[in-house]
Amino acid sequence: MSVSKAAAREMLLYMLWADRTTLGAVRDVRPEDLKRDAGISFGSLLGTMTHILAVQQVWLARFSGHSLEHVVVPDDFPDLLAWIRAWEETASQIEAFLAGLTDEQLTTAITWTNSRGETYTQPLWHTVLHLVNHSTYHRGQVVSLLRQMGYQPPATDLVYYLHQR
């Protein structure tokens, strides 16, 4: 089994759309709420958003056969605007990756070593779907935090993306 270029492309475009939709809601968050410790895995709203961004950057580098010199952390972003700039740059790189993606590449295995020193080899399509799934999971945490803080959460389900396109 494999995932076609069209399906992988659609999923990555969904991820970018959902990120943009979430970002639209996060723009209204007060700076103190953005950095407030919420007792979750990555501490705060900004911490969770930074984790999503960092993992997108890590996987994009792996897709290209590279490793990152620096994995972003919340302290890299003094404010939301700085985070937005980094996300926009990463989104552009994902779009460029999409432009050159082929069905053959998707079935080709990539090998990487994670932060614990464990090495894995899987077809590219596995890791592309993992990236989309990972982003969706943590974006759900962002949506929950927005709701808990009294902000209007965005609707980022795949079905809304498919309906809007």
- The one-letter code for the residue type at 128 is V
Burial 127-163 (b: 16+ CB within 10 A, else e): bbbebbebbbebbbbbbebbeeeebebbebeeeebee
Give 165's pLDDT tier (boundaries 50, 70, 90): confident
For strand 109-113 and strand 119-123, is the pairing parallel, antiparallel, or unpaired?
Answer: antiparallel
48: domain CATH number is 1.20.120.450
Domain that holds residue 63: 5-164
Give 67's pLDDT tier (boundaries 50, 70, 90): confident
Supply the pLDDT for residue 12: 97
Give 84's pLDDT tier (boundaries 50, 70, 90): very high
pTM score: 0.95
Total H helices, total E strands in the chain? 7, 2
pLDDT at 143 over 80: yes
pLDDT at 1 over 80: no
Q: Per-residue pLDDT tens for 5-50? A: 999 999 999 999 999 999 999 999 999 999 999 988 899 999 999 9
- Average pLDDT of the chain is 95
Report the domain count for the chain. Answer: 1
